[in-house]
Structure 1
Amino acid sequence: MKCCKSQAAGAQAPGPTFSPTQAVGGAGVEGLELELWEVRQHLDTREIADVAGATRAALEGLATSHPWPRGGEVAITAGSRGIDRIVDVLRAAAEYARARGCRPFILGAMGSHGGSTAAGQMEVLRGYGITEESVGCPVRTCVESVEIGRTPEGLPVLCNRLAREADGVLLINRVKPHTILTGELGSGLMKMAAIGLGGPRGADTIHARGLPECIVPAARVLLERLPILGGIGIVENAADRVCVLEAVPPSAIEATDRRLLALARSILPSIPFDPIHVLVTRWMGKNLSGTGMDPNVIGMHRRLGGPPERRIDRIVALDLTPESHGNAIGVGMADVITMRLRNQIDWQATYANGLTSGFFAGIKLPVALPTDREAIATALKGFPPETVRLVIIRDTAHLERMLVSPALLEEARAHPRLSIAETPTPLRFGEAGELLSVP
């Protein structure tokens, strides 16, 4: 049963029936007559064209301390994030394992995602196109875990039962800056080991003690105790396409994570304006960032607190991606959302993610307004049209194109990485109040 049900009658809590113009006396409606300029950000978009071939070549060159177990089962990890052409990578890895005489299967390796259930995890994988038919081998999920050791500090290290029972484990993950980890390690192979293989209970244990402090010691225990065959680290370019793919032995996983993270940080796209009065994002979602909207883009203080690294006065999130399956973790970082987004929230999945990670602020509910038009109008309240610094983006993972208000035009012209459309476009809405001006 979803947590959004009413305790008294089991019905969903009613949304507001008023117009924001009634509530706040105009709410910036005059700002909706703005003309916008499309800005293109020129990013490094070099990519690997054949990721399946790159995967096979990387595995051929992998020197591993564990021989591939002929006749044995090999678990190949698949996480909860949307990774470019991940089906091609998984299928190639499974084919390679089979060519070595092994029996591969894809293992759903994630913490609290999918509502901390095996069925929910399978739904997440299917949402990324990961099925037995697409990858050519069985796909399995399991939320049972067993303790396989303890860190030097005494932290119990838990491992997915299917990974523990496998004869070999191949870690696969994208390496990128994390929404909590700000040091030399982010999302990557070490996190896949500690959190992905740890499952919901392992994630709970690590988050309760502190992710930054525990992820490396826990991952080291897993790398030592499990028959890890190696890891495939993936880096995506600014257009979210695979640009680096490396296979490394277990002994090199930690160092590779650090090196690839530095590379990923150097090509991370950003919004090249500061301050911003109103930021409108067409989409937020779990497949775009672990926190729905990437704090590395909108400001880490919205995730971790503390002094703002950048100023964005108000954030409007208009919709939740279908790939999120209702998990709206990070919605609390927005200031205004739409009823369309609110009505898609699966509170059970959202609470499971937020409470496990300790991101309580991310599961708070912002003010929800009936339409895109009313949400944007409300956020624009108090900002004169001639000076408002408005930016509209598709989402925090796709920043090559954006729409900006006239007040940002001179800054855009002076920026060496930006080009501007020759003519403006009006801020347009459909008959139902839906935003039509989307980059």
Structure 2
Amino acid sequence: MRERPFIADLVKGVTVPKMFRVRQIFPRPKIEPKDIPGVIEKLLSEEKFSSQIKPGMRIAITAGSRGIANNALTTKCIADFVKSRGGEPFVVPAMGSHGGSTAEGQRAVLEGYGITEEYLQCPILSSMEVKKIGVNEEGGDVYIDKYAAEADGIIIGCRIKPHTAFRGPYESGIMKMMAIGLGKQYGAEACHEAGFKNMAKNVPLFGKAVIKYAPVLFAVPTIENAYDETCKIAAVNADEIEEKEPDLLKEAASYMAKILVDSCDVLIVDEIGKNYSGDGMDPNITGTFCTPYATGGIDAQRVVVLDLSEETHGNGIGLGYASATTKRVFEKLDLASMYPNAITCTVLGGVRIPIIMESDKEAIQVCIKTCNEIDKTRPRVVRIPNSLHLEHIMLSEDYLEEIKGIPNIEIESEPMELPFDEDGMLW
């Protein structure tokens, strides 16, 4: 047992409430992974898509940096379709400045999601080099990935969902993948330079220029349900993207999970990471928005982050919106991975480091202790595993009566003490 420093003595008497498990129930339309190849084959076999791929054409397929359900599989299915029509597919990382803003880092991000040359049976061409393809409607230069720009065609593989920092008809999806993902460091900086206040304008501004000047053929976006499962796959021709993406975004928003209680004193997030959200923890769930241009999520007075995911490779972006964290998280941080993303998007708050406590228990206790105007003998605490998987969560016993009036919540256990070991770590 380690010695307890003075700082720990400040919180050692703070009550951590008993908590009980609940199951949150959301609509669950779903495409089974085994059915995905057939769905994509059927979609792309439509004449307006299949006729665009000619034998010998070199086709770039985009793959991003998010933990998208069945991402490797959908990417492979698109590549297989291109090959079936005599084309020569290759994959390009389309993730702006992510992956430490290096070609090797971006390839490693894809490999972490199972998107490898061995699995895809086609090359992955990763480079931060970009090529100017034209100018947008305001006269700004538009650059995209050099390999994609020089291809005979580009297919945009992506996921559509609400963004974490702004609202508009085009948020995370096809337009953003073209404007920022394919734009690499340059494109990310160009779109973010005016700040998130102008992002709803800049994403389609650059995206439409990519459609006009680059060899974009069509997009194959996916939508996920509240359980992080693929529930829809679409095929959208290049000349249809501007019209059709907004409706797909509305559909994606309707399927998003949420925490079914409106507020809490302390929100415990077991793990954050880029595989869960571009912001580490999705503020559409946690309420931890980095800008005033988007709202939503639970209203929490304090947020505590206990760990980083293995898949995030030390990128703790989003940690800055927590109130407290653990020494374990601090020791895992890779600042070289975190900082390029924050500098590029011009929002630095997410890479700040909150108060650091030795253990899980102390990090939770310091958040409870510093809450204002609450009953500290019965704090209202919500615990989630991460911001992506919200079917099973925990609530403190003060919620027992309240949730009886909330549909789609099932109680799964009696209130119990959180299982801390002798060092105050959860197991």
TM-score, normalisation: structure 1: 0.91
| Residue 209 of structure 1: how far off its partner (Å) | 2.6
Counterpart residue number, 1:313: 301
How many Å separate the matches in 2 of 1:287 and 1:347?
A: 17
Counterpart residue number, 1:31: 15
Q: Does the Cα contact within 8 Å between 2:59 and 2:151 map onto a contact in 1?
A: yes
| Residue 325 of structure 1: how far off its partner (Å) | 1.4
Q: String of CA shifts for 1:303-349, please: whole Å, max 9, x gaps.
A: 11489755311100011111111211111111101111111111111
How many Å separate the matches in 1 of 2:62 and 2:110?
A: 11
Aligned to 1:112, the other structure's residue is in SS state coil
| Runs of 4+ with deviation above 3 angstroms | 17-20, 305-310, 382-386
Give the total of aligned pairs.
Answer: 417
Counterpart residue number, 1:213: 201
Residue number among 29, 37, 46 corresponding to 2:29 in the alignment: 46
| Residue 426 of structure 1: how far off its partner (Å) | 1.8
Counterpart residue number, 1:71: 56
Aligned to 1:140, the other structure's residue is in SS state coil
Residue number among 144, 162, 166 corresponding to 1:181 in the alignment: 166
Change over 3 Å in CA distance of 1:206–1:36 after alignment to 2: same
How many Å separate the matches in 2 of 1:212 and 1:329?
A: 22
Aligned to 2:398, the other structure's residue is in SS state helix
Counterpart residue number, 1:365: 353
Q: Does the Cα contact within 8 Å between 2:270 and 2:307 map onto a contact in 1?
A: yes
Change over 3 Å in CA distance of 1:77–1:299 after alignment to 2: same
Residue number among 163, 166, 177 corresponding to 1:192 in the alignment: 177
Q: String of CA shifts for 1:120-152, please: whole Å, max 9, x gaps.
A: 001101110110111111112110012211112
Q: Does the Cα contact within 8 Å between 1:69 and 1:167 map onto a contact in 2?
A: no
Q: Counterpart of 1:39 in structure 2: which amino acid?
A: V
Which residues of 2 match residues 187-266 of structure 1 at below 5 A?
A: 187-210=172-195, 211-266=199-254
Counterpart residue number, 1:392: 383
How many Å separate the matches in 2 of 1:86 and 1:261?
A: 18
Counterpart residue number, 2:263: 275
Q: Does the Cα contact within 8 Å between 1:106 and 1:140 map onto a contact in 2?
A: yes
Q: Does the Cα contact within 8 Å between 2:171 and 2:200 map onto a contact in 1?
A: no
Counterpart residue number, 2:142: 157
Q: Does the Cα contact within 8 Å between 1:66 and 1:228 map onto a contact in 2?
A: no
How many Å separate the matches in 1 of 2:51 and 2:95?
A: 24
Counterpart residue number, 2:290: 303
How many Å separate the matches in 1 of 2:69 and 2:98?
A: 19
How many Å separate the matches in 2 of 1:305 and 1:374?
A: 31
Consecutive unaligned residues in structure 1, runs of 5 or more: 1-16
Which residues of 2 match residues 278-357 of structure 1 at below 5 A?
A: 278-299=266-287, 302-305=289-292, 311-357=299-345
Residue number among 405, 415, 424 corresponding to 1:414 in the alignment: 405
Q: Counterpart of 2:403 in structure 1: which amino acid?
A: A
| Residue 267 of structure 1: how far off its partner (Å) | 1.5
How many Å separate the matches in 2 of 1:189 and 1:19?
A: 52
| Residue 363 of structure 1: how far off its partner (Å) | 1.0
Aligned to 2:200, the other structure's residue is in SS state helix
How many Å separate the matches in 2 of 1:378 and 1:105?
A: 50
Change over 3 Å in CA distance of 1:323–1:395 after alignment to 2: same
Q: Does the Cα contact within 8 Å between 2:97 and 2:344 map onto a contact in 1?
A: yes
Change over 3 Å in CA distance of 1:325–1:24 after alignment to 2: closer
Q: String of CA shifts for 1:236-295, please: whole Å, max 9, x gaps.
A: 000000000011111111223211110111111111223210000111011101100111
Q: Does the Cα contact within 8 Å between 2:274 and 2:312 map onto a contact in 1?
A: yes
What percentage of aligned pairs have identical amino acids?
A: 36
How many Å separate the matches in 2 of 1:402 and 1:19?
A: 31
Q: Counterpart of 2:44 in structure 1: which amino acid?
A: L
Q: Does the Cα contact within 8 Å between 1:39 and 1:412 map onto a contact in 2?
A: no
How many Å separate the matches in 2 of 1:279 and 1:213?
A: 33
- Name whichever of 306-315 and 414-423 sits farther off: 306-315
| Residue 61 of structure 1: how far off its partner (Å) | 2.2
| Residue 417 of structure 1: how far off its partner (Å) | 1.4
Aligned to 2:189, the other structure's residue is in SS state helix
Counterpart residue number, 1:9: none
Aligned-residue CA RMSD in angstroms?
A: 2.0
How many Å separate the matches in 1 of 2:8 and 2:261?
A: 28
Q: Counterpart of 2:169 in structure 1: which amino acid?
A: E
Change over 3 Å in CA distance of 1:234–1:308 after alignment to 2: closer
| Residue 19 of structure 1: how far off its partner (Å) | 4.7
| Residue 386 of structure 1: how far off its partner (Å) | 4.1
Q: Counterpart of 1:221 in structure 2: which amino acid?
A: A
How many Å separate the matches in 2 of 1:233 and 1:421?
A: 36
How many Å separate the matches in 2 of 1:272 and 1:194?
A: 34
How many Å separate the matches in 2 of 1:306 and 1:72?
A: 42
Residue number among 68, 77, 100 corresponding to 1:115 in the alignment: 100
How many Å separate the matches in 2 of 1:48 and 1:356?
A: 36
Aligned to 1:74, the other structure's residue is in SS state strand
TM-score, normalisation: structure 2: 0.93
Residue number among 389, 396, 403 corresponding to 1:405 in the alignment: 396
Q: Does the Cα contact within 8 Å between 1:386 and 1:407 map onto a contact in 2?
A: no
Aligned to 2:391, the other structure's residue is in SS state strand
